[in-house]
Amino acid sequence: MGYDSLSFTCLDNYRPNSYNETMKNRLPQYQRSRRFDSIEQEAYLSLWRTFDRLRAIEDELFGKWELSAQQYNVLRLLKAEHPETLPTLSLVRRLVSRAPDITRMLDKLELRKLISRGKRQGDRRAVMVGITPAGLALLEEIRQPLQVVHEKQLGHLSGADLKTLVKLLQQVRLPHEPEGSPWR
């Protein structure tokens, strides 16, 4: 069933009234029979689906240690600074994904004695966060199983393909990264 029959389904079931005329002239023939409104939508939804599939594998691993991927990321970032500590706001800027409730996440990690928090001398407003020996030990325990997960997720790609993928993803997100972001 082709584009002209209007029989295809968009993944989100949204198709503006002017879709037929607008897209008929804009899209190449191969795209007209696809389930997407645009190549940008197809690329975005492909990224989203890829993230979902890869994340499910990782979530299964982290679940064995009762950690979220976000909590693991916090521990990983704190380990990189160890034995130094980081201000909470600096930690938030370095996270892979947004953490709307960083305080609650840090509370959970502190309750498990994986991190410690304290005030900086001279600036009592800044909360400093550091990893504890228990947090370091947990990361060491997770290290090898996580490597196996990463190989399961992406090991079928060559080193050159992985480098190309990393470069393309950097190009995709660059206009959307705030100034001063460590991800720029």
Assess if residue 182 is contained within a domain: no
Assess if residue 183 is contained within a domain: no
Check whether residue 78 and residue 163 sit in a common domain.
Answer: yes
Residue 65's CATH number: 1.10.10.10
Question: Looking up tokens 């938030």, which residue turns up?
Answer: 92
**Spatial contact of 132 and 113, defined as CB atoms under 8 Å apart:** yes
Predicted local distance difference test score (pLDDT) of residue 109: 97
Check whether residue 32 and residue 12 sit in a common domain.
Answer: yes
Check whether residue 57 and residue 19 sit in a common domain.
Answer: no
pLDDT in tens, the chain (184 residues): 344 444 444 555 555 555 555 555 565 655 545 688 999 999 999 999 999 999 999 999 999 999 999 999 999 999 999 999 999 988 988 888 887 789 999 999 999 999 999 987 777 778 999 999 999 999 999 999 999 999 999 999 999 999 999 999 999 999 998 888 877 7
Predicted local distance difference test score (pLDDT) of residue 101: 86
Assess if residue 181 is contained within a domain: no
Tell me how far apart the alpha carbons of residues 17 and 23 are, in angstroms, rounded to a whole number. Answer: 11
Assess if residue 27 is contained within a domain: yes
Which amino acid, one-letter code, is at 106?
A: L
Check whether residue 90 and residue 53 sit in a common domain.
Answer: yes
Check whether residue 133 and residue 163 sit in a common domain.
Answer: yes
Instruction: Please state the separation of Cα 4 from the chain's center in Å.
Output: 37
Whole-model pTM: value is 0.74
What is the span of the domain harbouring residue 101?
46-176
How many folded domains does the chain comprise? Answer: 2
Calculate the dihedral angle through the C-alpha atoms of 114, 93, 101, 141, rounding to the nearest 10 degrees: -30
Check whether residue 72 and residue 111 sit in a common domain.
Answer: yes
Check whether residue 33 and residue 85 sit in a common domain.
Answer: no
Check whether residue 80 and residue 141 sit in a common domain.
Answer: yes
Check whether residue 26 and residue 97 sit in a common domain.
Answer: no
Question: Which tokens belong to 178?
Answer: 């705030």
Check whether residue 30 and residue 98 sit in a common domain.
Answer: no
Long-range contacts of 74-77 (CB under 8 A, 24+ apart): 74/105, 74/106, 74/109, 74/115, 74/129, 75/109, 75/114, 75/115, 75/131, 75/135, 75/138, 75/139, 76/139
Instruction: Please state the separation of Cα 92 from the chain's center in Å.
Output: 14
